[in-house]
Chain A
Amino acid sequence: MKIALSWLYDYLKTSQTAQELAQVLTRAGIEVKSISSLGVRVSHVRVAQICSSEKHPNADRLSVCQVDDGSGKTHQIVCGAKNYHPGDKVFLALPGAILPGGINIQVSQLRGVQSEGMMCSAQELGLEEESAGLYILPSQTPLGMELNTLLPEETILELEVTPNRPDWLGHLGIAREAAAFGAGDFHWKEEVLPPMKRDHSLFSIESLEQCSFYSLRSLHNISVKKSPLLLERRLQAVGLRGVNNIVDCTNYVMMETAHPLHAFDADKIKGTLSIRFAHEGEKLRALDGKTYTLRDVDLIIADQHGPQALAGIIGGAASSVTETTKSIFIESAVFNPSTLQASARFHHLHTEALYRFERGTQAHSALEASARVSSLILSESEAEAVEEIFVAGSLPEKRILPLRFHRVRKQLGITLCNEGISSLLKKLGLLPSPEGWEVPPWRLDLTREVDLMEEIVRLHGLESIQASHRSFTLPSTPADHAYDAAMLLRRRLLAAGLQEVKTPILCSAPPTNQNALLLRNPMGEEHACLRTSLIPGLLEVAKRNLYQKENSVSIFEIGKIFQSLPKNSLDHEESLSLGILMTGQQVPLSWRRREERSFDLYDLKGIFEHLVPGKISFSSSKTLFPSYALALDFFCDSKRCGYLAYLTPSEARELMLTGQEYSVIVAEVALSSLCKTMRDHSWQKIIPLSKFPSITRDFSLVLNKEITYDLIEQELLAAREPLLKKWMPLDTFTDVKGEKVPLGKKSLTLQFTFHHDDRTLRAQEVQPVCEHLLLRLKKTLGIEIRS
């Protein structure tokens, strides 16, 4: 909301600068978003009256005017504008004036006629951003007055008002708060409220729930004209446009008191006004020129012809105040915020009045605003007011809140005495009474004891409260364990050279996945769905980085994935998942010339095997997604909890830049099972170290290509040789020329480790064991020793 400083200082007597005031408001909880100034300082521009206008002898588009600037001397001015009549008052820039655009006014010859200055538009004076034609002033504007005196430069404060304080949506409320926080003295002459009269022939409320208070003030003998300059300028300063003196006055009082008002042309209202819900399909042509088709949930003000206003939001064109209006009704009411809000949202309307009604209004301010606007209109014209104000609904009541001083001190941790607390509350206009504290009517937000406490601490400030720490012990939670496990996992992956990334949870809906959770109101198709897997996000990251010429991408993400579940399912709708993607060079480019190779499946397998040694196993996957060429199921403690896969080469090529042919390997694993296995909360028990040396033997074997390593392992296990403690592959290769190994065969070098727990093993003992093992491999798998 915008506040004009000169306007605010009508009610706040202070010598504070805008910056000082901004600090006070910040302390009170009103955020000052910006301080700016409106208008310009120009001298030699004054109010003048056009006495006569004649056609320029040498130019069709120009005219020559005689203009009186009040000094008794007329100036000859050549002018291109057309929007004036002799007798109009305008701003005249005299020689010596420098206008905002840098225009230097001098006596000059225009097509052979001397011009002694320039008559100005609002734009040329920096008063408006865009305007056409001369700025015609109200006729009562004093002749000869300097622009600087008439319209001094205005300082505008842009405020961010929290929704709990509707009273801050007017200059009065801000002035009152600033005064309470010591910025100055609050000055406001309260209006004498007119006598109230209930008259059902004038209007009726259908539902008090929708409109708890309604009032009309009747004014006659109105003359509708342009508003006084100051009033119009103030409205412009806070972002409203001048319309006419009546509408401007209602807007002015709204920006002053924060209570919205509406003026009807009384002669155009037929019969009794009724505040009711619209009938489905009723139409209202509103002040914005648009016609709205109403629904039966839209609250309206209607006469016997139909809707005259969308209550609290916008008035109708038919009963609006025009130049011919002679008498008016000033409406001041209290409407249900949510009803208005729903209507406005449906009809895509947002008005200053709505903004205030939806935050909350009350009958006291309604009456005050009505009285204020009446006296403002009466002071500007020869209008007459009907003495009474017609009202319906509930009138304001006193609100009294109890407050326990000891509780204030306890809850806030402050040491103020009772008198100290009372004096703070009095600053805010609260009045002590035997039952508690009487809340001023405009403080709709104060309804409980705790609300008063907030006021006390707001005024007292947190600076003077002594900081403290209360300590008590609590056991760690399952969330603690889950967090620690995930961090441990992260650090293990980091040690394996993987970089963590974070990809968006909202993604485009996968074309095939039936389990995806879709949003009802997404922001575009690309963010319509909660991700069901981390892999698409990781692929995007790989793509971006490969495009940036990164030659090695090994990344992981730990994050939530989502799936919709059938009823009674024991699975979780949301679960933490680990995704890994590797592609490109396995080791960074270096002058060391180590073996250069790209990432493959074994790199990824190795990472998982080392996460929880001995508890991880794999088997080839039966279910293959179309984009995967080869997949392994991943088991943790014999429970399937994910997979590893090669992207099909054609999918991988799509990711790459031309000329690169790296494989892309991905994995996705459910975190809960993995973490449970990694951290089972029992200490690792040691295996005593053997005192006796072990013996190793290497054998190079030749075998059919189809025989996989796990088959050999099964045979070695089945051999049940107690001395054989360990085996590992040292090397494997094939030869396309059939020289080193025959075609269709492969070479595999195996290392056996033998060990006896109780004594030193001798070579002679190992020999028969080796022979047995090799014989077994030969018999069952046809494996030969390579010569």
Chain B
Amino acid sequence: MKEDIEQQERASLLALERATETDSLKEVRLHYLGKNGVISLLSEKMKTLSKEERPILGRHLHQWRTTFSQALETKEKLLNQRADSMAFEDLDSSLPGTSFPQGGLHPLTLLTDRVVQIFRRLGFSLAEGPDIDDEWHCFDALNTPAHHPARQEQDTFYLPDGRLLRTHTSTVQIRAMEEAVPPLRIIAPGSAYRRDEVDATHLAQFTQMEVLCVGEEITLADLKGTAEYFLRELLGPQTECRFRPHFFPFTEPSFEIDIRSPIISRKWLELAGCGMVDPAVFQAVNQRRGDSAYDPEYISGFAFGFGLERLLMILAQIPDIRMLLENDLRLLKQFSGEF
């Protein structure tokens, strides 16, 4: 019996050594440690032994079981480790990743949203107005004289009933003031239309952003502060702004805003028109409202506006504005990120 145990012990350790895979190791475990395994059977046989022999051999058997179990576990760990390290051996991790269909927003939407978010930080709300408007909202209320060239059929699209396609989003200024009393702080992105020949820098239909702030004691300093804050948020803190005197019928004084920034251009670039709302505009609104909510003696305001396509051309270095109309997916997909 003793020889039997010792022989089996040697055989077990040899079998353990020979097992080189987790599967064969499992067999070894089953063979020796299983319910009907070698060790169990030997334990069973113990019963037949004498009282003197039984404790000695019993101890021996127990020791064997312990050392064998430990060795088995160690071997198991080793084999697992080896198997784990082999698991992805054949994988070429340098192949490209799975591509999922990617959507994207149009760059004009991305830019519009960026602009909207900046003005919202300042507390501006959105406003809207119709693309088809009347001469009063587009010209008269905005202090544009009856014989002004912009009103001509060669510059403005008219409908047969005498209404027109707005030539600027400034119409929304008037509509907002008709609807609400001051203070007022709105932005309005929207389409505008002019009878321009379409070329590299002109479209007959384009997108403008209108900004209006009206209240008591709104001054030129507020216009400057707002415009500069907006432009530096959009174009970077090192952006320089220049306010160049200009003329618009609906603001007095009027300016054009030029910007210069090391990341965009070293040259001054014309970007926006702005000014203090002309008292005549307030008076036109009052007349339509039938009150004096916008009395220019107490109420003042600033307005500014710019073309979003033009801004986009500058930011994204698009040489021809018509590229924005083509909707070539190869171009649009380049704007997968946000601005």
Residues of A within 8 A of B (CB): 26-29, 31, 162-165, 337-338, 341-342, 345, 358, 410-414, 448, 450-451, 453-454, 457-458, 462-463, 465-477, 479-480, 482-483, 487, 490, 493-506, 517-523, 527, 530, 541, 544-545, 548, 550, 552-555, 560, 562, 573-574, 586-588, 590-592
Q: Can you name 15 A-B pairs with beta carbons within 8 Å?
A: A26-B244, A28-B245, A163-B148, A410-B219, A412-B219, A448-B279, A470-B222, A472-B183, A479-B127, A501-B106, A502-B108, A506-B204, A523-B195, A554-B103, A591-B95
Closest 8 interchain pairs by CB?
Answer: A29-B245, A413-B221, A497-B101, A413-B219, A338-B147, A162-B247, A467-B225, A454-B253
A497 x B159 contact (CB < 8 A): no
Question: Cβ of A164: which chain B residues have Cβ within 8 Å of it?
Answer: 247
CB < 8 Å neighbour of A548 from B98, B215, B220, B328:
B328
A473 x B123 contact (CB < 8 A): yes
Which of B128, B152, B245 has the most chain A CB within a 10 Å cutoff? B245
Closest to A340 in B: B147
B205 x A413 contact (CB < 8 A): no
What 11 new A-B contacts, CB under 8 Å, besides A474-B185, A490-B105? Answer: A163-B247, A413-B219, A414-B220, A448-B279, A462-B220, A468-B222, A470-B213, A472-B183, A499-B104, A517-B159, A554-B103
A469 x B219 contact (CB < 8 A): no
Closest to B188 in A: A479
Q: For residues 121 through 139 of chain B, which have their beta carbon under 8 Å from a beta carbon of chain A?
A: 122-123, 125-128, 130-132
B246 x A162 contact (CB < 8 A): yes
A574 x B252 contact (CB < 8 A): no
Closest to A407 in B: B297
A498 x B103 contact (CB < 8 A): yes
B85 to nearest A CB, angstroms? Answer: 26
A588 x B99 contact (CB < 8 A): yes
CB < 8 Å neighbour of B252 from A31, A453, A501, A504:
A453
CB < 8 Å neighbour of B244 from A27, A487, A552, A590:
A27
CB < 8 Å neighbour of B327 from A342, A498, A503:
A503
B44 interface contact, C-beta 8 A: no
A164 to nearest B CB, angstroms? Answer: 5
CB < 8 Å neighbour of A590 from B98, B102, B218, B243:
B98
A467 x B228 contact (CB < 8 A): yes
Stretch with Cβ within 8 A of A (4 or more), from B17-25, B58-66, B71-79, B329-337: B329-337
B103 x A497 contact (CB < 8 A): yes
Provide the main secondary structure of the chain B interface.
mixed
Question: Cβ of B325: which chain A residues have Cβ within 8 Å of it?
Answer: 502-504
Question: Cβ of B327: which chain A residues have Cβ within 8 Å of it?
Answer: 501-503, 541, 544-545, 555
B113 interface contact, C-beta 8 A: yes
B267 to nearest A CB, angstroms? Answer: 13
Closest to B278 in A: A450
With A493-B103, A494-B103 as known contacts, state yes or no: A465 contacts B224, CB within 8 Å.
Answer: yes
Closest to B100 in A: A497
| Cβ proximity bits B248-283 to A, threshold 8 Å, 1 near / 0 not | 000011110000000000000000000010110000
Question: Cβ of B89: which chain A residues have Cβ within 8 Å of it?
Answer: none
Q: For residues 286 through 333 of chain B, which have their beta carbon under 8 Å from a beta carbon of chain A?
A: 296, 300, 324-330, 332-333
Question: Cβ of A562: which chain B residues have Cβ within 8 Å of it?
Answer: 131-132
Q: What separation, in Å, do the CA atoms of A573 and B133 have in the docked complex?
A: 11
CB < 8 Å neighbour of A521 from B106, B153, B217, B222:
B153
A608 to nearest B CB, angstroms? Answer: 15
Closest to B155 in A: A521
Closest to A522 in B: B157
B68 interface contact, C-beta 8 A: no
A577 to nearest B CB, angstroms? Answer: 13
Q: For residues 199 through 221 of chain B, which have their beta carbon under 8 Å from a beta carbon of chain A?
A: 204-205, 213, 215, 217-221
A500 x B132 contact (CB < 8 A): no
B279 x A450 contact (CB < 8 A): yes
Question: Cβ of A414: which chain B residues have Cβ within 8 Å of it?
Answer: 220-221
Question: Cβ of B132: which chain A residues have Cβ within 8 Å of it?
Answer: 517, 530, 562, 573-574
B328 x A469 contact (CB < 8 A): no
B329 x A411 contact (CB < 8 A): no
Q: What separation, in Å, do the CA atoms of A494 and B104 have in the docked complex?
A: 5
With A411-B276, A413-B220, A470-B222 as known contacts, state yes or no: A545 contacts B329, CB within 8 Å.
Answer: yes
A313 to nearest B CB, angstroms? Answer: 15
| Cβ proximity bits B47-66 to A, threshold 8 Å, 1 near / 0 not | 00000000000000000000
With A29-B245, A500-B109 as known contacts, state yes or no: A462 contacts B255, CB within 8 Å.
Answer: yes
Q: What separation, in Å, do the CA atoms of A154 and B195 have in the docked complex?
A: 37
A532 to nearest B CB, angstroms? Answer: 13
Question: Cβ of A574: which chain B residues have Cβ within 8 Å of it?
Answer: 130-132
A500 x B105 contact (CB < 8 A): yes
Question: Cβ of A541: which chain B residues have Cβ within 8 Å of it?
Answer: 327
Q: What separation, in Å, do the CA atoms of A465 and B220 have in the docked complex?
A: 8
B219 x A477 contact (CB < 8 A): no
